[in-house]
Amino acid sequence: MEKDGLAKSSDSSIEKEGFISQSLSKDGIPNQSLSDDHLGIENISVEPNYLYEAVSTLRNYGFNYLQCQGGYDEGPGKNLVSFYHFITVDDLKKIENIKEVRLKVFLKRDSDLSIPSLYKIFKGSDWQERETFDMYGINFIDHPNPKRLLMPEDWRGWPLRKDYIQPDFYELQDAY
């Protein structure tokens, strides 16, 4: 027995399920608790087909502001990830009243890269989802304007993927 009557786990690689992850599970939404980030913010993974339901439930829990949506590439041949950072904005007078959670959707790059758009729940996801589509090729189902945001409409490829091969500079010059 350790101090305060708590025994240390012999396997520290097993993550304890966080409070929000537990709550989602109790509400019937499958998820996986990931390790908290360096600030102690809970990270949760959900499958693409449960994203919309999970976010609707988080909104009911009080996470009423999508602070950030983005994407990243884990590396050539690995997953593409769409992430979401939610906070509560009911009482921002005291910093300790802010609650935060992050959701992640892991997508195999050689499979269907489609996930539900959150536009119907959070209008602010509009340009953030467009940027993630533009840079990584993740498609957001039911997005009201699924067009490139940063790159020309006829651009080929997804520039922030780690396996992206940049077109020849002279080839681009000839296009103009």
Whether residue 29 has pLDDT greater than 60 = yes
Predicted pLDDT at 17: 85
Predicted pLDDT at 16: 77
Comparing C-alpha atoms, which of 164, 167, 141, 149 is closest to residue 49? 141
Residues 14-163, CATH architecture: 2-Layer Sandwich (3.30)
pTM: 0.82
Model confidence pLDDT, tens digit, residues 47-97 = 999 999 999 999 999 999 999 999 999 999 999 999 999 999 876 555 556
Q: To the nearest whole number, what is the mean pLDDT of the chain?
A: 86
Residues 39-47, mean pLDDT to the nearest whole number: 95
Task: Assign 10 a pLDDT band (cuts: 50, 70, 90).
Answer: very low
CA–chain centroid gap for 17, Å, is 18
Q: How far apart are CA 53 and CA 24, in angstroms?
A: 10
Q: How far apart are CA 125 and CA 166, in angstroms?
A: 28
CA–chain centroid gap for 139, Å, is 13
**Which residues are paired to 116 by β-bridges?**
141
With both helix axes pointing from N to C terminus, report the angle between 19-26 and 51-61 in degrees, rounded to the nearest 10.
110
Q: How far apart are CA 71 and CA 137, in angstroms?
A: 10
Residue 72 in tokens: 């990243």
Whether residue 7 has pLDDT greater than 50 = no
Task: Map out the domains of the chain as residue ranges.
Answer: 14-163
**Strand pairing of 139-141 and 114-116?**
parallel
Comparing C-alpha atoms, which of 48, 57, 67 is closest to residue 20? 57
